[in-house]
Structure 1
Amino acid sequence: MTDDEVDAFLAEQRTCRVATVALTGPHVTPLWFAWHAGFLWLTSITRSQRWADLQRDPRIAVVVDTGETYGELRGVELRGRAEVVGEVPRTGEPHPELEAVEQVFADRYTGGVVDRDGRHAWLRLKPEKIVSWDFRKLPMDRR
């Protein structure tokens, strides 16, 4: 995919799979996300295995994909390090970086209502590597 196609794809998809490094090996969980200003934003329960993993080792891989048949498959893998943004857990302390992100997330998932529940906190992934695929672009004889 082109950079513009990656941006559009990440803006339209709703669920990602987040891989962290647990003490016992890889740990993968689905999450909702926001793609905003070149960052992948995740909100995570601070008392989760994922959160514990990332506090110990911030390396993260995220996959967003879609498609039913081989010729429809497309997706994006993002790799990098997660960093905490804002207070932990998030209760609503003003934070300029989070204002737009929280609204993008709320518009996408909660009907525009920003929910700062005191159990979640924000993680930001600035991708160090992005890999994408779009099998719809394959010639018909290769699908």
Structure 2
Amino acid sequence: MSRRDETRMSPEELVRYVTERTVITLATLGPNGRPHLTPLWYVPRDLDPDADPPLRLTTWTYGKSQKAVNLRRDPRATLLIESGDSYDQLRGVSMECDVELVTDTDAVAAIGLDLARRYTPEGEVDALRQAVTAQAPKRVGLVCTPTKIVSWDHTKLGAGY
């Protein structure tokens, strides 16, 4: 078995890891052809280790942001979720994705509220509802569907690397 095969996450491990983490790095192609990288909060969706793909991710951004402009031009992105401070702790997932831009204000507000539920302490989401709804017309939702997933978990190697 190759080292690559040894570190690959199972579909169950991948879904658990993506659900536990909180920030993705979204890479789109900028107008000059170079990658444009942005950290974003996200909500994992359609979690099913037996499905292909085993999940989708949703997030939102301002409609005039560079990433939104880039995705209107080319709706492909690569997402990275990673962790670990030493080689033996490195874990991560890289996902090449097709990205759907959601412009319906109610649907965008729903994505914003889902983000608020995930990242705001319980009991404070209702206080944000009005602010999220007010921001929705200025934003677009991003639904990221993986077309290729690569994962690694160096904790599986023990000390033998």
Question: TM-score scaled by structure 1?
Answer: 0.85
Distance 1:12 1:98, change over 3 A: farther
Give the Cα separation in 2 of the matches to 1:23 and 1:102: 27
| Bigger radius of gyration | 2
Give the Cα separation in 2 of the matches to 1:11 and 1:20: 22
**From 126, 133, 136, the counterpart of 2:152:** 133
SS at match of 1:61: strand
**From 4, 23, 27, the counterpart of 2:36:** 27
Corresponding residue of 1:111: 121
Greater fraction helix: 2
Larger deviation: 106-115 or 59-68?
Answer: 106-115
Aligned-pair distance for 1:65? 0.5
Q: What whole-Å deviation, never above 9, does each CA across 1:86-114 have from its counterpart, x for those lacking one?
A: 42xx4xx2x4x985x55542222133524
Gaps of 5+ in 1: none
Larger deviation: 17-26 or 111-120?
Answer: 111-120
Give the Cα separation in 1 of the matches to 2:115 and 2:84: 23
Aligned-residue identity in percent: 31
Gaps of 5+ in 2: 1-8, 47-54
Corresponding residue of 2:84: 67
Corresponding residue of 1:15: 23
**Aligned Cα root-mean-square deviation (Å):** 1.9
